[in-house]
Structure 1
Amino acid sequence: MAAIAATVVTALILYSLDHDYSPHANPKAHRWSTVTISTSDLPFTPEAPSVDAVYAVSNLSCMKPRMVSGALPMPQKTIAIPVVKLSDSSYAAKLPLDPYADENYDGLGDCHWDFASATFNMKHGPRHLRATISNKAVESNGSETRYFTSWQFNSSPTDLPQTGISNPQVLHPRDGESLHAVTLTAKEATDERDSK
């Protein structure tokens, strides 16, 4: 038992040492995007609106395989973004696109931290709902629409967040249910004036 315990402890130590990919702030950060969220198609006013932006290393070849599993790490970081309420059915959030500096963690070249996605979170009573805009849409100053059914708002389990779907045809609304959309639109912002 002592040998097994020692092995487990050693593995946990190696595991923890193998996961230090904490990024540092990019002193030359200059790329921003303002995402506007339209909820006018929803039959309610969202409660507790918030936005989370996710960043990930895009070139995994810069990392060594993990010492325990042999798999490549896939580090991500999430930043809570302030939300501005424009109206009862419109919100905006200014996203930094390059908040983290590229770093050489394992001696295999710089790891590049890129914006991956942003998620608009909201509540309707006890239910949590979320709609996501992709890196592709943000980088191209595009928009994406996420669809929900009225069942997700009113009758879905309350222990799991309900996620809007890009293709409404896969939702298969039941009799008496309706579809509702949340649209997220990105626009490049280079300074504070562009985020208005």
Structure 2
Amino acid sequence: MSRDIYDEANAHLLRSDLASIARLLSGEACTTHVRQWQQLMDRQSRSVPTQSSTQSLPGPQPTRWDGNPKTPGPETMHRTAALLVSLLPLISFADGTAMNKPDVKLNPHPRMRYEITVQVEGAPGPFDRVEGVVDYRVANEACVPLTPVTGATVAPEKRVPIALTRTGDGVYKGEMFADLLQDEDYFGKGVCHWSVVAASANLFVKKVDFSAPLFRDDLFNGKYTTRYYSNRSYATTQLDRIDVGEADRAQYQDEARATFSITVRAEEKRP
């Protein structure tokens, strides 16, 4: 699996969520099922990898996804994880209690405003829609109560859309607030502090989502991220999937020239 920042961070976050879910649901069957999905995720990093890119990676080679709907692909794994996460608020435990979901409040006076710019270069065609999202997560888990019986802690998360407007040829802009969510004592265990995980651009062609995230450190330090995607992936749109691309165009080797890029950057806008 490509060990660039997106795949590594995304895998880390997803593994963390799945581990929490396994502890919450308990039971050997559930734990085994979640572990199987973790292993599948580790073996499959992209929906449509090129032959050259899979051969170029050091160490154990990822399983090549054959496009068969019956074969679990990355989108299937993401959907399974999302489904399990969505079920957490409905879970009842042995003592009859349920996990509390906080009523997340908006900061009435947000000040940390950032302009998000998305630039597409070399795409072989248009996109059906261009969307943006910001993912937030409570940073200090000590403010979150332990789940009854199992003792797991699940940090609250929230995803907020960004309205991206086309401002030029292949250029889209939008705004976000890093302090959009209200820091508050949601559980009676101290103030929970919200933190940005990433701001992401999602460009869709039929059923394919070309995703490019700008993670917290790069966002706050004025850096940018560029992801490269295969033109062949752009033309392969019959299945629902998420394409996270590559951080290095050279990963595509012989097909390196048949690629396009998505760059995401953030600029702080002071009052």
* Normalised TM-score (structure 2): 0.60
Aligned match of 1:161 in 242, 260, 265?
242
Aligned match of 2:132 in 51, 58, 82?
51
Aligned match of 1:139 in 213, 220, 223?
220
Deviation at 1:130, TM superposition (A): 1.4
Deviations 1:115-137 (A, max 9, x none): 21111111224422211111111
Paired residue for 2:188? 107
Deviations 1:63-109 (A, max 9, x none): 12212432111211011111111123000111111011111123332
Paired residue for 2:259? 179
Deviation at 1:9, TM superposition (A): 8.1
More helix by share: 2
What's the secondary structure of 2:117's corresponding residue?
Answer: strand
8 Å Cα contact 1:44-1:124 kept in structure 2: no
Paired residue for 1:5? none
Aligned match of 1:122 in 178, 203, 228?
203
What's the secondary structure of 1:33's corresponding residue?
Answer: strand
Moved more, 174-183 or 123-132: 174-183
The alignment's C-alpha RMSD in Å is 2.5
Q: Tell me, in whole angstroms, the C-alpha distance in 2 between the residues paired with 1:68 and 1:176.
A: 52
* One-letter identity of the residue aligned with 2:267: K
Taking every aligned residue pair, what percent have the same amino acid on both sides?
20
What's the secondary structure of 2:233's corresponding residue?
Answer: helix
Aligned match of 2:103 in 2, 18, 22?
22
Instruction: Please list, as runs of the form range in 1=range in 2, the aligned pairs for 1:10-89 lying within 5 A after superposition.
Output: 10-11=92-93, 14-15=97-98, 18-89=99-170
More strand by share: 1
8 Å Cα contact 2:143-2:189 kept in structure 1: yes
8 Å Cα contact 2:207-2:241 kept in structure 1: no
Q: Tell me, in whole angstroms, the C-alpha distance in 2 between the residues paired with 1:150 and 1:47.
A: 16
Instruction: Flag the 1:11–1:150 CA change in 2: closer, same or farther, 3 A.
Output: same
> After the TM superposition, which segments of 4 or more aligned residues of structure 1 sit over 6 Å from their partners?
none
8 Å Cα contact 2:144-2:155 kept in structure 1: no
Deviation at 1:156, TM superposition (A): 6.0
The number of aligned residues is 181
Structure 2 gap ranges (5+): 1-89
8 Å Cα contact 1:145-1:166 kept in structure 2: yes
* One-letter identity of the residue aligned with 1:11: F
* Normalised TM-score (structure 1): 0.81
8 Å Cα contact 1:117-1:132 kept in structure 2: yes
Q: Tell me, in whole angstroms, the C-alpha distance in 1 between the residues paired with 2:102 and 2:242.
A: 28
